[in-house]
Amino acid sequence: MGHINRVNSIACSPDNRYIVSGSDDETIRIWDIATGAPVGDPLKGHTGRVCSVAYSPNGRNIVSGATDNMIRIWDAATGAPVRKPLKGHIKDVDSVAYSPDGLNIVSGSSDKTIRAWDAVTGLPLGDPLKGHTQRVRGVAYSPEGRNIVSVSSDQTIRVWDAQQIQNNGECLYE
């Protein structure tokens, strides 16, 4: 009925009706918060552990990152893939997040880079952001969307100018 292996990530839908989870069993599940029951079948498509999941701000889509180096976008209502996987990282995708306006996605990887993507087209926005010396464990947008924050196994937190992402970004401070 649920995941058959370790759960690595969870996120709540913006309307607080659902939870999405990603697991080592290579699946994503959607859960009804009121009943605790799974909603539909598991979302399948990754060929590696699902490390991170997030809802879009409008709740229509779910983004996931996995150890297959892929980022996938799913229709939250149907569970169907929205487009082909986003490819660019050369190692595990450890973290994914939507921008507050839902137009962009940011990802962090064990390849030590951060990438930004157009959530509508799936195309990369500029070159990978580089600066961390070990895997990027977490990424997030600031509430107003001006900055991207990343954390790494190198024991640093970096703040990037999201507006400069297409110009290879600018690390504002570490």
Q: Let me know: does 34 contact 19? Beta carbons within 8 Å.
A: no
- The count of other CB atoms within 10 Å of the CB of residue 98 is 24
Instruction: Report, as ranges of residue numbers, the positions in the chain whose pLDDT lies below 70.
Output: 1, 166-174
What pLDDT score was predicted for residue 169? 58
Question: Which pTM was predicted?
Answer: 0.94
Spatial distance between the Cα atoms of 43 and 171, rounded to a whole number of angstroms: 35
Q: Is 30 helix (H, G, I), strand (E, B) or coil?
A: strand
What pLDDT score was predicted for residue 172? 62
Spatial distance between the Cα atoms of 145 and 147, rounded to a whole number of angstroms: 6
Q: Which residues of 138-149 are buried (b: 16+ CB within 10 A; e: fewer)?
A: ebbbeeebebbb
The pLDDT tens digits of the residues spanning 61-88 come to 999 999 999 999 999 999 999 999 999 9
| DSSP string for 70-112 | EEEEEETTT--BSSSPEE--SS-EEEEEE-TTSSEEEEEETTS
Query: Any idea which architecture 7-173 has in CATH?
Result: 7 Propeller (2.130)
User: Amino acid letter at 153?
Assistant: S
Q: Among 135, 128, 158, 141, which Cα is nearest to 67's?
A: 135
User: Amino acid letter at 173?
Assistant: Y
